[in-house]
Chain A
Amino acid sequence: MLAVSRGTQVMARRAGFFRDVFSVGERAVRSVLRDTETTIPAILIPVFMYALIVGALQDFAEQIPGMNYRAFQLPVAVLFAVTGVSRAITVVTDIQSGYFDRLVITPVNRLALLLGLMLADFALVMALTVPVIIMGAVTGVWFATGILGVLAFMFMAGLWGLTYAGFPYAIAFKTGNPAAVNISFLLFFPFLFMTTLFVPQEQMTGWLSRVADYNPVTYLLAALRSLISVGWEPDVLLKGLAATLAVGVVSIGLSLAALKGRATRR
């Protein structure tokens, strides 16, 4: 009747870290391709915000000498595209359905359960930068750094998307609550609005200018903008990269701690 007994030897062994990451990542990529309803907003929202902000403020902002406001806003649009994009909701679904337990009782490397998902996230956020760049090109924005600058722009935006994804993952592993994960995007608002979202920092005054000094997004936006409007500025790029990595240390650290709490027997 059953064809389960052609051998009785247990076949299981540890697959190895990279194979585990790849296996988990492959499943995540499949879920990205199936869940188009979660990626469409990530394409539409940046277009909407770009059109809204440029439409409302372009004439006013371009009174600043040398300002190309569409170029200035393109990095903002890309951050709207890549921030908060993650498979964290899949984690919650897996926890609630018990599928996460099924994964945990395999010999899989625990870290791969997070990094596999992040692998898929990175591929997705890199892809999401493309429509934004095309939108920029259509509206006359091109990169002073050329094609290499476009790739650097995609990489830095993708890296930001990946590091920010640590927050929703931390919430997902910690709470197992879809509502909590869905509102994790709200964490981004202080990051985005307390920085050089609308005007350059030189034009900002008072407490907001001071806060922007300490906001990592300020340095990320400066790096992305320099790739478009100025050219290769190593110090600006390094500051942007360092700011992104600093956020990553916190967010990924939190998500790893939450994963450990979820996957460890208590």
Chain B
Amino acid sequence: MSGHANYDDAITTDGLVRRFGSVRAVDGVDLRVPKGEIFGFLGPNGAGKTTVIRMLITLLAPTSGKITVAGFDVMEDPVEVRSHIGAALQEAALDDKQTGRQLLRLQGRLYGLTGRQVKERISELTGLVDIGDAMDRLIGTYSGGMKRRLDLAAALVHRPDVLFLDEPTTGLDPISRSRIWEEVRGINRESRVTIFLTTQYMEEADALADRVGIIDRGKLAVQGAPADLKRARGVDLIVVRPDGDVEKAALALESVPTVSAIDAHDTELTVSTSNGAALISTVALKLNECGIGVRELTLRTPTLDDVFLQVTGARFRSAPGTGDGSVEEENPPRA
């Protein structure tokens, strides 16, 4: 099946809304993901990521709005969409009582592959799954990392145009996570598969995605290339951990020239400026003048976490390996 080949954007959504009762879980999301791109969809738990992905892969109907995937309208041609997408959903949705080979064979058959094609694809994908003899073991005996890799293989069995990965590394140890990252890059590079990746980890999106979108409380707060978003956040950030009241320290620094923004959260301040190297000593002196001790003073470039803070007013905290992506409510940015 060649599909609807004449499309530039692998995924588009226009005014996408999904309500659950009176709650607008997804609230007017407009997305454009060009063919061949890795798109990182970021947000904390409950932000609406999974709801969006479930609408994109035909599992959930939108309340309103339009979606196209691989050039097909999701509401009008769901079967065509299903034929052109692969998905590895949260928590490796597998059947523990089948072997890896049996699971891939069933996937291949349900996608209409012939017996010979199924055999060939399993042989090819075994290289991706990289679990050796375990392919003929029950999936229930696999480690978390092996399950995720098998899940990925199952999503690729029919060579989809668009691959959806819903938090593919949540709960994995750093080594397993980096292997999955490597596989994702390889799939995109070698097959030009468009990849839509949701994640709770900013560093994951930073490492993998050509562009990212940040969703917060159902709304798409910002989208763009990570480097562009970080550049827009400011050239340099000075992070101050004062020995005392953070609010007082923030007030003290408001009058410092060339400071473009000050974000206070927890026990630290983030000062945005166009030239951090020139300003860092001024910051230290100003705090000293005001009688505020400094425990730590560092200069760094912005991260996606800083972008998230700027657009949502909250610091996105994730603890890789724990599966806990959460938002810490913050004071809104001052500038």
A residues whose Cβ falls under 8 Å from a Cβ of B: 1-16, 19-20, 23-24, 26-27, 30-31, 34-35, 93-94, 97-99, 101-108, 265-266
Return the chain B residue nearest A14 by Cβ. B112
**Beta-carbon contact of B128 and A3 below 8 Å:** yes
CA distance A13 to B61 in the complex (A): 23
The one of B83, B84, B93 in contact with A98, judged by C-beta atoms closer than 8 angstroms, is B93
Q: Which residues of A contact B190 (CB under 8 A)?
A: 1-2, 4-5
B residues whose Cβ falls under 8 Å from a Cβ of A: 1-3, 57-61, 78-79, 82-85, 87, 89-91, 93-98, 102, 106-107, 109-113, 117, 121, 123-125, 127-128, 154, 156, 158-161, 182-183, 186-187, 190-192
**Beta-carbon contact of A106 and B110 below 8 Å:** yes
**Beta-carbon contact of A106 and B187 below 8 Å:** no
**Beta-carbon contact of A4 and B125 below 8 Å:** yes
A22 to chain B, nearest CB (A): 8
CA distance A46 to B94 in the complex (A): 35
Return the chain A residue nearest B59 by Cβ. A101
Known pairs A3-B128, A97-B95; A102 contacts B87 (CB<8 A): yes
Q: Which of B78, B83, B110, B183 has the most CB of A within 10 A?
A: B110
A256 to chain B, nearest CB (A): 19
Q: Which of A5, A7, A26, A105 has the most CB of B within 10 A?
A: A105
Q: Which residues of B contact A20 (CB under 8 A)?
A: 110
**Beta-carbon contact of A10 and B159 below 8 Å:** yes
CA distance A94 to B124 in the complex (A): 27
Q: Which residues of A contact B98 (CB under 8 A)?
A: 27, 30
Q: Which residues of A contact B154 (CB under 8 A)?
A: 102
**Beta-carbon contact of B97 and A2 below 8 Å:** no
Q: List 8 A-B contacts (CB under 8 A).
A: A1-B186, A3-B127, A12-B113, A12-B158, A93-B95, A101-B93, A103-B110, A107-B112
CA distance A15 to B187 in the complex (A): 25
Known pairs A97-B95, A98-B89; A8 contacts B159 (CB<8 A): yes
6 interchain residue pairs of minimum CB distance: A98-B93, A265-B61, A12-B83, A5-B190, A12-B158, A13-B112
Which DSSP category, helix, strand, loop or mixed, fits chain A's interface? Answer: loop
Q: Which of A27, A106, A265 has the most CB of B within 10 A?
A: A106
Given A2-B187, A106-B82, A107-B110, 5 extra CB contacts under 8 A: A4-B159, A4-B187, A9-B2, A13-B111, A19-B109
CA distance A98 to B84 in the complex (A): 20
A144 to chain B, nearest CB (A): 43
CA distance A12 to B127 in the complex (A): 21
A38 to chain B, nearest CB (A): 12
CA distance A112 to B190 in the complex (A): 35
A185 to chain B, nearest CB (A): 22
Q: Which residues of B contact A99 (CB under 8 A)?
A: 93-95
**Beta-carbon contact of A6 and B90 below 8 Å:** no
Q: Which of A19, A35, A108 has the most CB of B within 10 A?
A: A108
CA distance A49 to B266 in the complex (A): 68
CA distance A108 to B96 in the complex (A): 21
Known pairs A5-B190, A30-B102, A107-B79; A10 contacts B84 (CB<8 A): yes
Return the chain A residue nearest B151 by Cβ. A102
Q: Which residues of B contact A106 (CB under 8 A)?
A: 82, 107, 110-111
**Beta-carbon contact of A15 and B186 below 8 Å:** no
**Beta-carbon contact of B158 and A5 below 8 Å:** no
Return the chain B residue nearest A264 by Cβ. B61
CA distance A213 to B110 in the complex (A): 46
Return the chain A residue nearest B123 by Cβ. A3
Q: Which residues of A contact B2 (CB under 8 A)?
A: 9-10
Q: Which residues of A contact B94 (CB under 8 A)?
A: 97, 99, 102
CA distance A14 to B84 in the complex (A): 12
CA distance A98 to B182 in the complex (A): 25
CA distance A102 to B150 in the complex (A): 13
Q: Which residues of A contact B156 (CB under 8 A)?
A: 4
Return the chain B residue nearest A1 by Cβ. B186
Q: Which residues of B contact A4 (CB under 8 A)?
A: 124-125, 127-128, 156, 159, 186-187, 190-191
CA distance A23 to B125 in the complex (A): 20
Q: Which residues of B contact A31 (CB under 8 A)?
A: 97
CA distance A266 to B102 in the complex (A): 31
CA distance A41 to B260 in the complex (A): 73
Return the chain A residue nearest B161 by Cβ. A10
B142 to chain A, nearest CB (A): 13
Q: Which residues of A contact B191 (CB under 8 A)?
A: 4-5, 8
Return the chain B residue nearest A100 by Cβ. B93
**Beta-carbon contact of A97 and B111 below 8 Å:** no
Q: Which residues of A contact B90 (CB under 8 A)?
A: 98
CA distance A99 to B187 in the complex (A): 23
Known pairs A11-B117, A107-B111; A2 contacts B127 (CB<8 A): yes
**Beta-carbon contact of A12 and B97 below 8 Å:** no
Q: Which residues of B contact A16 (CB under 8 A)?
A: 112
Q: Which residues of B contact A104 (CB under 8 A)?
A: 59
CA distance A14 to B3 in the complex (A): 13
Q: Which residues of A contact B107 (CB under 8 A)?
A: 102, 106
B335 to chain A, nearest CB (A): 44
Q: Which of A4, A20, A107 has the most CB of B within 10 A?
A: A4
Return the chain B residue nearest A266 by Cβ. B61
CA distance A23 to B113 in the complex (A): 12
Q: Which residues of B contact A24 (CB under 8 A)?
A: 106, 110
B141 to chain A, nearest CB (A): 13
**Beta-carbon contact of B158 and A265 below 8 Å:** no
